[in-house]
Structure 1
Amino acid sequence: MSRKKNTVGILKWIILLSLVGGFGLVSWWSWAIQPYSNASNSMKITIAPGTTAAQLAEELEQHQLIRSAWMFKLLARLRNEEFRLYVGDYQLAPMMSPDEMINRLIKGAAMMDTQRVTIPEGYTTDQIIDLLVQKGISSKQDLTKVIMEDTFPYSFLNDAPKGIHRLEGYLFPDTYEISKNSTPHAVIDIFLKQFEKELTSDEKTQLDKMKLSVSQWVTLASLVEKEAVKESDRPLIASVIINRLKINQPLQIDATIQFLLETPKPKLYNKDLQIPSPYNTYLHTGLTPGPIANPGHASLQAALYPDQTEFLYYVAKKDGYHAFAKTYLEHLKNVKLYQ
């Protein structure tokens, strides 16, 4: 008899706790879907390429525009919205409910006059500017001014040099949907924000292990980008560059000479190799003062995780791959064989 009473008592407690829990969940949900506050002041939120609902939700919560990032993510999932293509700037206010914000984003994306732009890996700043102008995104004068003068909130730019190549290496190559109404500053910021995503905690740990600064990493990756054609060659070329750096041997990379020329040449001559510049890797040892192009993900990874080899030389073959050698004698044989 007492066992039956105990069972009934336990069931009552379970039912009571379920009711309390259910009531608490309903109360929380009712609270979470409300506007953050009655404030009408709006804030500009920029959605970069590849932004997910989870990332957007965290940003909105940090800016005190919504009460719960988790709830926003759930609402987005229920409506099957991931915001991956909704690139652009949006004005959102705390007085808007999360559902109203999602509607604004969807409506804004549908109305937005965008231009799909693909930045090829290895493009220089000058080439990117010319491409954006061709796509009708902005003028060369405005883009150049932004690149040379505007301030951006990224620590990896703290030691950036002055001039047109100030952002060289950090204008991340990718395919973007860019609003034609975006300001030149917002456009350049999209590329920089995308690069920031490459700089994860794992990458920072590996940089510390290799004793490389972010600038050195991107510079190394830019050299790999300009030298490699085939994917499998990238970690090998990175190993050659690192091996030469270790013994203070000039890198002798032709792409650094091409970087100095107003118009790239199909063939370099000895007089080109004598151009007085710290970017001339025939005259100077070590890395160039900064990146010579904007490397993509594969080259950044190759620079961070190079193959472990004893190679000091490589020569391009007609199929796009390279032949690698440990000694200069082996290298001369490869040159004779493949060129």
Structure 2
Amino acid sequence: MPVIKRFIWIVLAVGLLAVVALGLDAGRFFTSPLHNTSGQLVTVESGMSFKSIADRLVEENVIVNPRDARYLSLYARYQGVANQIKAGEYAVPARQTPAHLLELLVSGKTRQYRITLVEGRRFSEIREQLEANDALEQKLTGKTEAEVMAAIGHPDEQPEGRFMPDTYLFPRGMTDIAFLKRAYDSMQTFLDDAWENRSESTVVESPYEALILASIVEKETAVPAERGRISGVFTRRLEKGMRLQTDPTVIYGIENYDGNIRRSDLRRDTPYNTYTRAGLPPTPIAMPSRAAIKAALDPAPGSALYFVSRGDGSHVFSDSLADHNRAVDKYQRGS
């Protein structure tokens, strides 16, 4: 055989062996679990090419070497999904196969963070909670309440009580604006539905008034069975033209409240002092729960006009001022 032919056959044989070796190596990569031995976070930024994503997986030590990253890139192109990767932060489980990793990146199932808005809290407390969460992109820091409401698309509305207490899941990078829009819409949807199904016995004249009354009910009791009764007391007082005389509204109107409510506070007139002013206060005083809204729109029947705390979270309800004063002496003054 001429030398040139032998050389060609040698080259072909070496090439074939290289292809076989490459195929075996690729097979090893795709049938073996990934290098990471524990769950790991990988961030895919908007606009990243798949090669850049694969390189990042190497940097994060999810894939052991650049050669394996090239295998993953080739496989993604072969599958036709290289341009279908969703941006976001992914929690890559330990020891997953490359195929499962690719499925995760295509699925867009990014890591979800959690914030729980607790009923009874004020809007100022919500803002502090959101600002403390580093998974949210902060756009509202330093903004006034009016600027916040304009940013979420509801200018000229007061923010207090407008956001639904609930647990919200969200991906890293969501803006605080988008988060508040979601909580606002959740509250509005529920409030509108509750208003459409309100009882004829409710005294409030608008969904916003329902929100105000519900916020007072929320602050007055944490006992689920009492919400309707508390609402019933306030409803009857409003019907009779009696002042609500509820401490939580007074507290809301006190600047720099120190935890103690004094007689002077009860006498000091503010828009929120329901001892000095008739009717509902001008805004909610906290975020009411779904249950409190339902109670405001469906007050329990009865004749009680007063209630006082027993000191254990529950209340004694009274029809007359004389009975109420005796209950106050027993449970508040200890006499």
Normalising TM by the smaller chain, what interval?
Answer: 0.5 to 0.7
CA separation of 1:234/1:105 partners in 2, compared to 1, >3 Å: closer, same or farther? farther
Superposition TM-score, scaled by structure 1 size: 0.61
Superposition TM-score, scaled by structure 2 size: 0.62
CA separation of 1:135/1:308 partners in 2, compared to 1, >3 Å: closer, same or farther? same
| CA distance in 2 between partners of 1:208 and 1:239 (Å) | 13
The AA in structure 2 aligned to 1:329 is A
Query: Which residue, out of 178, 182, 187, partners 2:179?
Result: 187
1:337 to partner: Cα distance = 1.6
| CA distance in 2 between partners of 1:239 and 1:106 (Å) | 54
| CA distance in 2 between partners of 1:185 and 1:325 (Å) | 45
Query: Which residue, out of 269, 275, 282, partners 1:276?
Result: 269
Secondary structure of the corresponding residue to residue 117 of structure 1: strand
Tell me what 2:110 maps to: 111
| CA distance in 1 between partners of 2:284 and 2:105 (Å) | 36
Contact 1:315 1:334 in 2 (8 A): yes
The AA in structure 2 aligned to 1:147 is V
Contact 2:220 2:248 in 1 (8 A): yes
Contact 2:194 2:297 in 1 (8 A): no
Residue identity over aligned pairs, in percent, reads 30
1:151 to partner: Cα distance = 5.0
1:150 to partner: Cα distance = 2.5
Contact 1:257 1:280 in 2 (8 A): yes
Name structure 2 gaps, 5 residues minimum: 1-87, 89-102
CA separation of 1:106/1:217 partners in 2, compared to 1, >3 Å: closer, same or farther? farther
Contact 1:318 1:338 in 2 (8 A): yes
1:232-251 aligned at under 5 Å gives the runs 232-251=225-244
The AA in structure 2 aligned to 1:111 is T
Contact 1:217 1:300 in 2 (8 A): yes
Contact 2:252 2:285 in 1 (8 A): yes
Query: Which residue, out of 130, 133, 140, partners 2:131?
Result: 133
CA separation of 1:194/1:311 partners in 2, compared to 1, >3 Å: closer, same or farther? same
1:140-179 aligned at under 5 Å gives the runs 140-142=141-143, 144=145, 146-150=147-151, 152=153, 161=157, 166-179=158-171
Contact 2:306 2:318 in 1 (8 A): yes
| CA distance in 1 between partners of 2:145 and 2:213 (Å) | 25
The AA in structure 2 aligned to 1:239 is G
CA separation of 1:265/1:233 partners in 2, compared to 1, >3 Å: closer, same or farther? farther
Deviation readout 1:215-268 (Å, 9 max, x if unpaired): 100000000001012111111110111111011111111111111223333321
1:104 to partner: Cα distance = 10
Tell me what 1:337 maps to: 330
Tell me what 2:308 maps to: 315
Contact 1:314 1:322 in 2 (8 A): yes
The AA in structure 1 aligned to 2:150 is E
How many residues align? The count is 227
Secondary structure of the corresponding residue to residue 330 of structure 1: helix
Secondary structure of the corresponding residue to residue 141 of structure 1: coil
The AA in structure 2 aligned to 1:204 is E
| CA distance in 2 between partners of 1:196 and 1:145 (Å) | 18
Tell me what 1:123 maps to: 121
| CA distance in 1 between partners of 2:105 and 2:169 (Å) | 15
Q: CA RMSD in A?
A: 2.6
Name structure 1 gaps, 5 residues minimum: 1-87, 89-102
Contact 1:235 1:302 in 2 (8 A): yes
Secondary structure of the corresponding residue to residue 277 of structure 1: coil
Contact 1:207 1:214 in 2 (8 A): no
1:177 to partner: Cα distance = 1.0
Tell me whether 195-204 or 238-247 shows the greater mean CA deviation. 195-204
| CA distance in 2 between partners of 1:311 and 1:207 (Å) | 19
CA separation of 1:177/1:203 partners in 2, compared to 1, >3 Å: closer, same or farther? same
| CA distance in 1 between partners of 2:106 and 2:231 (Å) | 43
